Amino acid sequence: MATDRSNVPLLEVSNLRVEFATRRGPLVAIDDISFSIAPGEVLGVVGESGAGKSLTGTAIIGLLEPPGGITAGEIRLAGRRIDNLPHDEMRKIRGKEIGAIFQDPLTSLNPLYRVSEQLIETIRTHLPMDASQARARALTLLQEVGIPGAAERLDHYPHQFSGGMRQRVVIALALAAEPKLIVADEPTTALDVSIQAQIISLLKRLCREHGTAVMLITHDMGVIAETADRVAVMYAGRIAEIGPVQDVVKRPLHPYTTGLMGAIPAIGHDVHALTQIDGSMPRLDSIPRGCAFNPRCTKVFDRCRVERPDPIPQGRTAVACWLYDGAGR
């Protein structure tokens, strides 16, 4: 197998801060987050809408649009800093070293061009291949992602594929130049459950066989539990908890993570009511002082309302919560 689980991270995000310029001043959307992903590892990023999951992925891919921008921190890919690269240089990295899979396949596929043309163009842009070699690779990719009758379907247009098959084409496109990292933003949300399972299985196999690192962004804890090695739980632009997926799912530490886990129905357990987290995610212009979760937290105390906790190591997990500070309350 090609999987390399060495201690050297492929992706390192350090103290990343993303802001949006407004007439009333900057709004902080991503606030000082740090994490890494090793070769062959799947990091799940989960949280409610507005938590900053997709924005983090967009920043890594280099697709932030004004008025949004990175104002602090660093993003390194295989040791090389990429967050400060010129547009043209970042464009070369995007596709060749970083592949992207988005929620709606039609945003990644041009409806006016055959699938073969789109794959061949991507392959030839990033790899030293002539047209016939690129076409052969395109066919191999479609076969690898499990499209039946790939030879006949290679020259079809995107509208001739079902939603699940289109998503497979997008995965083939993301893999076209053999990237080291794939950022998958809600890749299964628009698909039915049986197709979701197939796409998840496909991502896991490709990660295992190619040693590709995957950042899997989703709001579905079931997808995370099935796919990821580690999980980062985001809330209001910060990481609330990060650790091995089994630890976070079975023994959540942060009150927010506990609430997320309690909202998932368990098969075989007779539960009359699921856990509910009262309130909603704060707007960017009204994030409370201290811990952003404090207005919704059932375990809040005075310190939570005035001081913002950084992630505190707890075994293999790190949790941004004053309940785990050795200095106590």
Q: So what's the pLDDT on residue 263?
A: 64
Q: Which domains does the chain have, with CATH numbers?
A: 11-97+179-286 (3.40.50.300)
SS3 240: strand
Look at residues 235, 236, 253 and name the one whose alpha carbon lies nearest to residue 244.
Answer: 253
Rg (CA), the chain: 21
Q: So what's the pLDDT on residue 209?
A: 85
Q: So what's the pLDDT on residue 268?
A: 58
- For residue 62, is it left (φ>0), alpha (ψ between -120 and 50) or beta? left
Across the beta sheet with 317-319, the strand order is 98-101, 181-185, 213-218, 42-46, 230-235, 238-244, 317-319, 312-314
Alpha carbon dihedral 57, 63, 69, 71, in 10-degree steps, equals 60
> Using CA atoms, how far apart are residues 258 and 2, in angstroms rounded to an integer?
35
> Using CA atoms, how far apart are residues 260 and 119, in angstroms rounded to an integer?
39
**pLDDT tens column, 282-308:** 999 999 999 999 999 999 999 999 999
What mean pLDDT is predicted for residues 208-212?
85
**pLDDT tens column, 62-104:** 999 999 999 999 999 999 999 999 999 999 899 899 999 988 8
Residues 276, 263 contacting (CB under 8 angstroms): yes
- Looking at 14-130, list the stretches that DSSP marks H as alpha helix, in order from N- to C-terminal side: 53-61, 87-96, 115-126
- In this predicted model, which residue has the larger pLDDT, 24 or 189? 24
Q: What does the chain come to in residues? A: 329
> Using CA atoms, how far apart are residues 207 and 171, in angstroms rounded to an integer?
12
What mean pLDDT is predicted for residues 154-174?
93
Percent of the chain with pLDDT over 70: 93
On the CB side of 307, CA atoms within 13 Å amount to 12
273 pLDDT band, cuts 50/70/90, is low
SS3 37: strand
Which of 107-111, 206-210, 220-224, 289-293 is the least confident region? Answer: 206-210
| Backbone CA torsion sign across 6, 10, 14, 16 | negative
pLDDT at 259 over 50: yes
> Using CA atoms, how far apart are residues 233 and 231, in angstroms rounded to an integer?
6
Cβ-proximal residues to 202 (8 Å cutoff; 6+ apart), any chain: 145, 146, 168, 171
187 pLDDT band, cuts 50/70/90, is confident
pLDDT at 6 over 60: no
pTM of the model: 0.90
- Looking at 211-296, list the stretches that DSSP marks H as alpha helix, in order from N- to C-terminal side: 221-227, 245-250, 255-262
**pLDDT tens column, 153-163:** 999 999 999 98
Q: So what's the pLDDT on residue 265?
A: 60
Token pair in block for residue 24: 């009333």
Percent of the chain with pLDDT over 90: 69
**pLDDT tens column, 232-242:** 999 999 999 99
